[in-house]
Amino acid sequence: MKNTYKSAGVDVEEGQKAVALMKNAVKETFTKNVLTGLGGFGGLFELDLEGIPKPVLVSGTDGVGTKLKLAFMMDRHDTIGQDCVAMCVNDILCQGAKPLFFLDYLATGKLKAEKAETIVTGIAKACKESGAALIGGETAEMPGFYDEGEYDLAGFVVGIVDKDRMITGENIGAGDALIGISSSGVHSNGFSLARKIFFEQEKMKPEDHSRRLGKTIGEALLTPTKIYVKPIQSLMESVTIKGMSHITGGGFYENIPRMLPKGVGIEIWKNSFPVPEIFNMIRDLGRIEEEEMYKTFNMGIGMVLAVDKEDVKKTLTALKESGEEAYHMGDVIKETEESKESVVLWKD
């Protein structure tokens, strides 16, 4: 028997089939700025700098983490692409950047063209929602590296913002208001802990229905990460956003302080926004302390904005008109010893 690449576990023809299947979904993301189709060695994107006198490119990269394990358990792969895109575009949005183009990286032990198409179609749909063109990517078949049926997924985005309109947080001061925009659920962080509690400790299965949640455990957990690009871009036309934090790994305690300048801290009113039942369930079953919950999960708030106190009503109204649920969830305060290193949580 002759040794071939296919006999070693890499099926080039399956890869070509995958590209052919995903081609239409990818093309639907193309804007007038995309100069190449699929198949080139590099994606070409022509910059349109009209109305941007001081252009600054903003880039970000991220993956989906162990939420992928849940997709494997459920054999459902149509939403995980949105998680990948959302984690990237929401990050660069914190600097006020408009997404321009996106690249994805999909690696698996044995490539299945139809599964790859499902994943990339999800990526393409999310790119359209965020206004980013999907101009390239890599589908890698790596036999012996991943367990059967498993894969890894990561993405990279480039956006643009005018230097004079960048959101830096440097002008945030005591008295400013914190506005929280609701999440769609657990998003893409904290899944190692969630999986341990539901599936290892409680011996549940993704298909188990929960009365508390009104759906199966798997459906609740696999809900894709919300993309905030359109409502935030719309808000920026009428309100000056002084700072913005994407609530990802590290929860409130790690992410909100990232937008703050020296000399200020924050207070958060816990009762000012609803905590989705999925988080209460994780807390109760895992007997997890409150501080640990806020350090691990988004607790129902996916994005936090800092705005002038006088703009609170305008901000909440604009977000509501964009279809978002938003809350005045706290204020910026003068830094104290208690707030110096962490978030201060206050009860109403």
Confidence of residue 52 (pLDDT cuts 50, 70, 90): very high
pLDDT tens, residue by residue, 308-329: 999 999 999 999 999 999 999 9
Read off the pLDDT of residues 207-227 as tens digits, 9 standing for 90 and up.
999 999 999 999 999 999 999
pLDDT of 342 strictly over 80: no
Sequence spans of domains, the chain:
12-165, 177-346
In angstroms, the CA 212 to CA 282 distance is 11
The full DSSP string for 268-322 is: EEGGGSPPPHHHHHHHHHHT--HHHHHHHS-TTEEEEEEE-GGGHHHHHHHHHHT
Mean pLDDT of the chain: 94
Taking 80 as the threshold, does the pLDDT of residue 2 lie above it? no
Per DSSP, the three-state class of 267 is: strand
pLDDT band of 341, cuts 50, 70, 90:
low
Residue 28 has pLDDT above 80, yes or no: yes
Which CATH code is given to the segment(s) 12-165? 3.30.1330.10
Does the pLDDT at position 291 exceed 70? yes
Report the CATH architecture of 177-346.
Alpha-Beta Complex (3.90)
Check: pTM over 0.85? Answer yes or no: yes
Phi, psi torsion values for 15, nearest 5 degrees = -65, -40
